[in-house]
Structure 1
Amino acid sequence: MRKWIIILVIIIIAAIFGYNYIYQDHRDIEKETAEFSITSSEIAARFSENSTEAEKTFLNKTIEISGAVSEISLNDLTIDDKAFCQFSSEIKETIIKVNSKIKVKGRVIGYDDLLEQVKLDQCVILE
């Protein structure tokens, strides 16, 4: 009987650790400090030259990217046609205009070879 209680306790502890590992808290990019501060042209050039090395450097990292706004939609914008930034909330177009300089913080989620754009999500506009 004592052996079964020990096995049951071990299973419960393993289940608790497994649950906590699988359901970790989500990152809050807005509160994180950026690991890199780079222009959209520089990061796009790094990805186009050697995408494997650039992915090792930037993928899933928080970065600050700067440049001129080339396109604005409801929840996303494009910087210099080289970086696509997706926001969690709507962008107020009265604050940002096309061709205005901008600095955005977000998480790099990849590179689109077809459009030759770096993709970022959970972006926030820096003042």
Structure 2
Amino acid sequence: MKKKITYSILILFIVAFAIYSYTYQKHRDISSEKAQYLVTIPALVKEFAANDSLAFAKYQDQTIAIEAKITAVDIENKAIILDQKMFAIFNDSFSKDIISGKKIRIKGRFLGYDELLQEFKMDQSSLIR
């Protein structure tokens, strides 16, 4: 009887530790990751138009690099819009080099495509120099 209780408690602790480790795992640092894909916005538009399910599966939650022209800047929310199609939210660092009309290259985590607004979304973005 004591062995069963001891094994049960041991298994309970192992399961609890596994759940705790999974729940509180380390967060990704996108700015230090290497970009999985270097794409342009017209290429993204073309891929999503051809097969949005396949494109979504390919890019979802991946670190991507984009080179495009800034069309709008929201300093208060640390966000920019690239080529009127990509909405990118920056980390804490928001460079003064980011001005409307300038061509830049950024890296961030691809979130998806918003069909209502017809734009792609990225977060944890950072400027690539």
Corresponding residue number in structure 1 for 2:64: 63
TM-score, with length taken from structure 1 = 0.93
* Runs (4+) off by over 6 Å: none
CA contact (8 A) 1:48 1:116 kept: no
Corresponding residue number in structure 2 for 1:17: 18
Report how many residues are paired: 126
Matches within 5 A, 1:86-125: 86-89=89-92, 91-92=94-95, 94-125=96-127
Identity %: 31
Unaligned 5+ segments in structure 2 are none
Q: How big is each residue's C-alpha offset from its partner over 1:64-109, in whole Å with a ceiling of 9 and x where there is no partner?
A: 01110000002100110111101122524x3122111100100011
TM-score, with length taken from structure 2 = 0.91
Unaligned 5+ segments in structure 1 are none
| Alignment partner of 1:82 out of 71, 82, 85 | 85
- Root-mean-square deviation over aligned CA pairs: 1.2
CA contact (8 A) 2:93 2:126 kept: no
Counterpart Cα distance in 2 of 1:31 and 1:91: 16
CA contact (8 A) 1:44 1:83 kept: no
